[in-house]
């Protein structure tokens, strides 16, 4: 079913929507939520109304006391049970029941999942995507839901958005094979949409000469990408004029400006959006922090190019050192702030630990890596880093324990296992356990004789 807009909904739904907007402007949240809910009962795929409904619910929930939240939780269970039963028989009813729960508790994960499933069952994929986006904002590390969201965008013929979701999954789990395939498929689909290849009757409809195609591609790849970004910025700025508070447009403009290298403009949109949402979106906070770092790195790169042309310029060298120090400070500050704000998000603890290790703060790195071990996707990497930290601290026996623990989760001798096995052998050497060290080196040599200096390690003659 096609997404409904204000122009395409029925008159009754439009009147309810306008009343809800007016109430929202007066901060009459209860009435606004009721009007939006009635509007959606008539037009369940009117995503703009659902977007404002969720915003009103979130704002009202911020002011709810602990006693009200306790009552809300008690009232939610029978509604959720009924919605679960109605999910396949009557998805529209399930959506309405889920929304009743969300009106009181807009962060209820079970209600959001039921709403998304019911919308999908009712063929309301835009609503499915919208609901999963809200869920993902609250649960940014749920890769299973992110996969569902990416597949939904592919079904909506939005491969570029799907690719962004798959890339987000790969940031959480670089070894996710399905996400890797998803990026490739989404990229191909995006290229087909852009080039209209799927509508061509033959290759000659796209371009007559293969050599010409290669030459054009090589000559225009960068220019085309920049032109596309500029066009998208212009289009979204026009849309923003008629809908200035649209968070989707603001976020997209932030990303586009960052992609173009206009970091100040990107931060202008994203920081305004974060302030409007009163925080609470770790993915947005991280995006802002990343752009600030990219801005510094761009400044460093510019200075390095100037230094290449003026190698004796000490002022430039000092400027680069100052910028690099500032970059490292911001990286640490950002990581600490995220850990303080989201202490249960072990991914942030892992990131902070890596930064501590980079600047040589081994003890703080150990503290954070020990906690990051609890994150399944970071467990092996955290144990590997812990072992390296223990080696630097002169504790090879503890390093051996950490490396062995990491190896338990790696059945195949891939690149990561070779690295950890090598580190384990080095730890045994640090303990004076030469035979054990050589045994570990030989495990690597059995599959990759040329790995680092393994050949020399296992063929050297023992000292007399």
Q: 227 pLDDT band (50/70/90 cuts)? A: low
Do 1-136 and 219-278 have matching folds? yes
- Stretch 270-284: mean pLDDT, rounded? 76
Q: 280 pLDDT band (50/70/90 cuts)? A: low
**Helix 379-392 to helix 415-430 angle, to the nearest 10 degrees?**
30
What is the architecture of the domain spanning 1-136? Alpha Horseshoe (1.25)
Got the DSSP string for 370-420?
A: HHHTTSGGGHHHHHHHHHHHHHHTT-HHHHHHHHHHHHTT--S--HHHHHH
Q: 58 pLDDT band (50/70/90 cuts)? A: confident
Pair 170, 176: CB distance under 8 Å: yes
Domain boundaries, the chain: 1-136, 140-144+154-195, 219-278
Query: Domain 219-278 falls in which CATH fold?
Result: 1.25.40
pLDDT digits (tens, 9 = 90+) for 26-46: 888 888 888 988 898 888 888
pLDDT digits (tens, 9 = 90+) for 381-399: 999 999 999 999 999 999 9
Determine how many CB atoms are found less than 10 A away from the CB of residue 103: 21
Q: What is the C-alpha separation between 390 and 401, in angstroms, rounded?
A: 10
Total-model pTM: 0.46
């Amino acid at each position: 079913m096609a997404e409904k807009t204000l122009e395409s909904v029925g008159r009754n739904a439009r009147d309810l929507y306008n009343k809800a907007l007016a109430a929202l402007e007066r901060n009459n949240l209860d009435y606004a939520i009721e009007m939006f809910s009635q509007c959606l009962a008539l037009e369940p795929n009117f995503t703009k109304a659902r977007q404002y409904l969720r915003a009103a619910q979130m704002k009202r929930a911020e002011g709810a006391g602990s006693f009200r939240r306790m009552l809300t939780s008690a009232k939610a269970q029978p509604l959720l049970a009924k919605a679960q039963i109605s999910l396949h028989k009557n998805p529209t009813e399930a959506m309405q029941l889920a929304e009743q729960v969300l009106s009181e508790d807009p962060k209820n994960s079970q209600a959001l999942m039921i709403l998304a499933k019911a919308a999908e069952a009712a063929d309301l994929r835009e609503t499915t995507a919208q609901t999963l986006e809200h869920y993902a904002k609250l649960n940014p590390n749920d890769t299973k839901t992110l996969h569902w969201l990416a597949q939904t965008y592919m079904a909506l013929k939005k491969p570029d958005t799907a690719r962004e979701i798959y890339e987000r999954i790969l940031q959480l789990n670089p070894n996710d094979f399905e996400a890797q395939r998803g990026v490739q498929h989404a990229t191909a689909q995006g290229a087909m949409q852009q080039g209209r290849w799927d509508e061509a009757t033959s290759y000659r409809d796209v371009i007559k000469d293969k050599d010409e195609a290669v030459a054009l591609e090589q000559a225009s790849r960068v220019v085309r990408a920049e032109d596309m970004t500029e066009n998208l910025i212009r289009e979204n700025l026009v849309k923003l004029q008629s809908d200035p508070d649209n968070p989707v447009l603001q976020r997209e403009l932030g990303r586009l400006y960052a992609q173009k290298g206009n970091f100040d403009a990107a931060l202008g949109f994203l920081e305004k959006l974060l302030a409007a949402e009163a925080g609470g979106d770790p993915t947005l906070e991280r995006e802002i922090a990343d752009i600030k770092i990219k801005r510094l790195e761009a400044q460093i790169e510019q200075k390095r190019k100037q230094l290449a042309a003026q190698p004796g310029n000490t002022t430039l060298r000092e400027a680069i050192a100052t910028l690099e120090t500032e970059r490292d400070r911001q990286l640490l500050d950002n990581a600490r702030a995220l850990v303080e704000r989201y202490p249960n998000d072990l991914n942030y603890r892992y990131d902070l630990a890596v930064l501590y290790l980079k600047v040589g703060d081994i003890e703080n790195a150990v503290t954070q890596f020990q906690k990051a071990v609890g994150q399944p996707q970071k467990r092996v990497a955290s144990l590997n880093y812990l072992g390296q930290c223990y080696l630097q601290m002169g504790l090879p026996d503890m390093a051996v324990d950490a490396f062995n623990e990491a190896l338990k989760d790696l059945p195949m001798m891939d690149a990561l296992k070779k690295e950890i096995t090598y580190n384990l052998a080095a730890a045994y050497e640090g303990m004076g356990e030469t035979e054990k060290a050589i045994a570990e080196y030989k495990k690597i040599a059995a599959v990759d004789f040329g790995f680092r200096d393994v050949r020399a390690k296992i063929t050297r003659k023992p000292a007399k």
